[in-house]
């Protein structure tokens, strides 16, 4: 398994207590499926199974490579550049999220 070389991009080690949903979908009035947070700047976006794939779009636009799932019970992170999933023990917290508008 390839190792991620972008761990120095991580500035968010405490997850927010609650979020309202995908920032970009909320702004556009669009539905999302699952939520991901950027561990560099805290941007909350939606997964690749969502219609607008805002987490991936944010990574490409910003160069922020590492996201973490905000879904209840999920603790994995993902590096877009290295395409590697990982568990980051230094990232703490559990974020309250609203149910997906798509019912997923």
Give contact residues for Zn ion (rule: CB under 5 A): 4, 6, 22, 24-25, 32, 38, 40-41, 43, 46, 52, 54, 62, 64, 79, 81-82
Identify which of residues 18 and 38 has a Cβ nearer to Zn ion in the complex.
38
Minimum separation from the CB atom of position 29 to Zn ion (A): 11
Identify which of residues 13 and 62 has a Cβ nearer to Zn ion in the complex.
62
CA angle 41, 42, 47 (to 5 degrees): 115
Minimum separation from the CB atom of position 85 to Zn ion (A): 11
Residues 57 and 41: beta-carbon distance below 8 Å: no
Task: Report the alpha-carbon distance of residue 47 to residue 57 in Å, rounded.
Answer: 10
Minimum separation from the CB atom of position 53 to Zn ion (A): 7
Identify which of residues 11 and 75 has a Cβ nearer to Zn ion in the complex.
11
Buried b (16+ CB within 10 A) or exposed e, 66-90: bbbbbbeeeeebbbbebebebebee
Identify which of residues 62 and 96 has a Cβ nearer to Zn ion in the complex.
62
What SS3 state is found at 72?
coil
């Amino acid at each position: 398994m390839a190792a991620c070389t972008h761990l120095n991009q991580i500035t968010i080690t405490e997850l927010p207590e609650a979020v309202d949903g995908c920032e970009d979908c909320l702004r556009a009035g669009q539905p999302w499926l699952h939520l991901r947070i950027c561990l560099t700047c805290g941007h909350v976006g939606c997964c690749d199974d969502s219609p607008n794939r805002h987490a991936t779009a944010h990574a490409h636009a910003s160069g922020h490579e590492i996201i973490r799932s905000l879904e209840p019970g999920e603790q994995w992170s993902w590096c877009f550049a290295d395409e590697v999933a990982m568990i980051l023990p230094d990232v703490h917290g559990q974020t309250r999220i609203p149910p997906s508008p798509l019912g997923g």
